Structure formats: C-alpha cells, structure tokens
Amino acid sequence: MAVIAEPVVQAPRASLLSRALENRSFLGSLFMLPAILILVLFLAYPLALGFWLGLTDTSIGGTGHYVGIANFVSLAKDSVFWLSVFNTIFYTVTASVVKFAIGLYLAVLLNERLPFKSILRAIVLLPFVVPTVLSAIAFWWIYDSQFSIISWVLIKAGLIHNYIEFLGDPWNARWSVVVANIWRGVPFVAITLLAGLQTISPSLYEAANLDGATNWQRFRYITLPMLSPIIAVVMTFSVLMTFTDFQLIYTITRGGPINATHLMATLSFQRAITGGHLGEGAAISNAMIPFLVAAILLSFFGLQRTRWQQGGRD
C-alpha cells in the first residue's frame, strides 16, 4: 500500500508553545527541570538553611536571630569542639589508610585464580550489605565490658586476666570505633578496586612477564599506576564517607567516654537535636565543609595528573 505523502502545509503562524518546543535551549532547560528541582529541594535548600542556621542562635521551639559569627567564635574556645576535630581527623586518616591497604590486598587476592572465587567475593561484600546500625550493634556487643567475645576468648586462652575496657578508655574506644569503621568500609574499597583491576588487560601482565618483571615489579609498575585513577576516586569517596560518619559512632559509643569518640557529625547532632541548640549544631556542621572541600580538591588535582589517560596537548 503506497501512501502518497501530502505536501506538508506549514501552519501560517505556529503556536507559541510549538515554537518554544523547537527551541534547543528551551527544550534543554525543560528536560533539566526535574533534576534541578530535586537538587534544589534536597541539596541546595538544606545546605543554605544549614549555612543560615549556623549564623543564628536558633534553638528548637524558638525563632532565632542573626548573630554573625558568634557561634564560630564560641566554638573556637570550646575544647570539646576541638577534641571532636582531632577525633574526626584521627578517625578518618587511620581508618582510610587501613581500609585502602586491606581493600587493595583483598582486591588483588580476589583477582587471582582462586577456588570458590564467587563465594569469596560474596563474603567480602557482606559487611557492606548488613545495615550499618545492625553491624554497629554487633560491634557494641563485641566490645561490651561484660560480654565481649574478644575478652572471653583471650581469657580462655590464658592471655589476659581481666575483661578489656574497649569502650571505657578513651584510646581503646577510639581504636575500637576505627576497627568497626574499617570492617564496614573495606568491602566498598575492595570491590571497587577489584572492578578496576579487571579492566587491566591481562596481556600487559604477559608482556611484563616476558620483559622480566617479578611479581612485585608487576604490581609496582603495572597494577599500581594503572589503578591510580580509580584509587583516587575510591579513596575520595571513602574519606568523605568516613569524615562524615555518624551512625557507627552514635550507635556504639554516642561520642563517649567523655567525648573521646565524638566526631564533628555526632557532636553537631548532639548539640543541635539532643541539646536543642540548632544554631550551634549547624555551625559545627559548617566547620566540616573546609575539610571536605580540601579533600575533594586534593583528589581532583591528583586525578588531573594522570596525563597518560587524557592524551597530551600537541
């Protein structure tokens, strides 16, 4: 059946709407609108509100007034705040370094020809799958002063005589929450790095093998540099997530003992919601921003240096 196309009759004056729909930039804006709305509603607005609250003395139930940088001035003299800054940095740096080391080790291991590889991969992912609060509660039990399985095992083995005060002593508590965070964060690092490893062509290793590289040299000269872009991305994410961690700490120690494990996020929550001082809590949150921006910039410029990926300018 041949249909003879009728000559398209151009409407003498297309309606405003149909003309607008022909317009590239109008159409582009239209398509972006949902995304923009979501970003504004759930990202920009809370952020702006947080900024604003940080500059007021708002408390729960009361309207606040603009107080300038008064909140920050008082925080600067607040030793608990500075302790939380120290704790956050300690927590982030130690946990990230260890997560990276263990994650890379696991990724390299899982990338080898292993028996039961898929089962092993599933096992590695487990800590990531369990809801954070559940795993935090598990750690809370592990670290319990009377029921701790670690203390129990060590005592039965005759290695120690008294139950360890995991969460009662400041430094024990700090290390304890770091270990919990590592356990929780390693799967993300390991699985992402494993995905990165799998993009490295096996023929590069074969070539290196023929070129005379030992196992260590293959790792040092092939794996590590080829993986560096993905390492930068993963570790940025990992640092950001660790720096802003809340759930683990809040469930295991609530910041104790005597604020020894308070992170900036938990302190902010405590001052704002528990204590009712929304303005002060928001100011603590805002104080995290420079650190986060610094971390992002660091990885951004770190990423830029991998010139071999982007081609040169010539």
CB of residue 246 vs other proteins: minimum separation in angstroms?
Answer: 38
**107 is written with which tokens?**
């990724």
Q: Are the beta carbons of 244 and 288 closer than 8 angstroms?
A: yes
Least distance (Å) between residue 225 CB and other proteins = 4
For residue 108, the minimal CB distance to other proteins (Å) is: 18
> In the beta sheet, which residues pair with residue 56?
66
Question: Among residues 53 and 234, whose Cβ is nearest to other proteins?
Answer: 234
Indicate the residue among 204 and 241 with the shorter CB distance to other proteins. 204
Taking the least distance from each CB to other proteins, the nearer of 227 and 260 is 227
Dist CA 56 CA 278 (whole Å): 9
Smallest separation, CB 116 to other proteins (Å): 18
Nearer to other proteins, 65 or 305 (CB): 305
Footprint of other proteins on residues 90-119 (CB under 8 A)? none
312 binds other proteins (CB under 8 A): yes
> 194 and 102 in contact (C-beta within 8 Å)?
no
Residue 56: phi and psi, rounded to 5, are -125, 170
63 or 215, CB closer to other proteins? 215
Tell which positions 148-207 bind other proteins, by CB under 8 A. Answer: 201, 203-204, 206-207
Q: Which is nearer to other proteins, 31 or 216 (CB)?
A: 216
CB of 188 vs other proteins, minimal distance in Å: 25
Q: CB of residue 310 vs other proteins: minimum separation in angstroms?
A: 9
How many residues belong to the site for other proteins (CB under 8 A)?
23
Shortest Å, Cβ 112 to other proteins? 16
Which 201-260 residues touch other proteins, going by CB under 8 A?
201, 203-204, 206-213, 217, 221-222, 225-226
Nearer to other proteins, 131 or 212 (CB): 212
CB of 296 to other proteins, least distance (A): 24
Q: Is there binding between residue 307 and other proteins (CB under 8 A)?
A: yes
- For every residue of the chain, DSSP letters joined together read -PPPPPPPPPPSS--HHHHHHH-HHHHHHHHHHHHHHHHIIIIIHHHHHHHHHHTB--BTTB---B-TTHHHHHHHT-HHHHHHHHHHHHHHHHHHHHHHHHHHHHHHHHHS--TTHHHHHHHHHHHHHS-HHHHHHHHHHHT-TTT-HHHHHHHHTTS-SS---TTTSHHHHHHHHHHHHHHHHHHHHHHHHHHHHHTS-HHHHHHHHHTT--HHHHIIIIIHHHHHHHHHHHHHHHHHHHHT--HHHHHHTTT-STTTT--HHHHHHIIIIIS--HHHHHHHHHHHHHHHHHHHHHHHHHHHT-HHHH----
Give the interface segment with other proteins, choosing from 73-81, 89-97, 172-180, 306-314 (CB under 8 A): 306-314
Work out whether 61 is an interface residue with other proteins (CB under 8 A).
no
Q: Which residues bind other proteins (CB under 8 A)?
A: 201, 203-204, 206-213, 217, 221-222, 225-226, 306-309, 311-312, 314
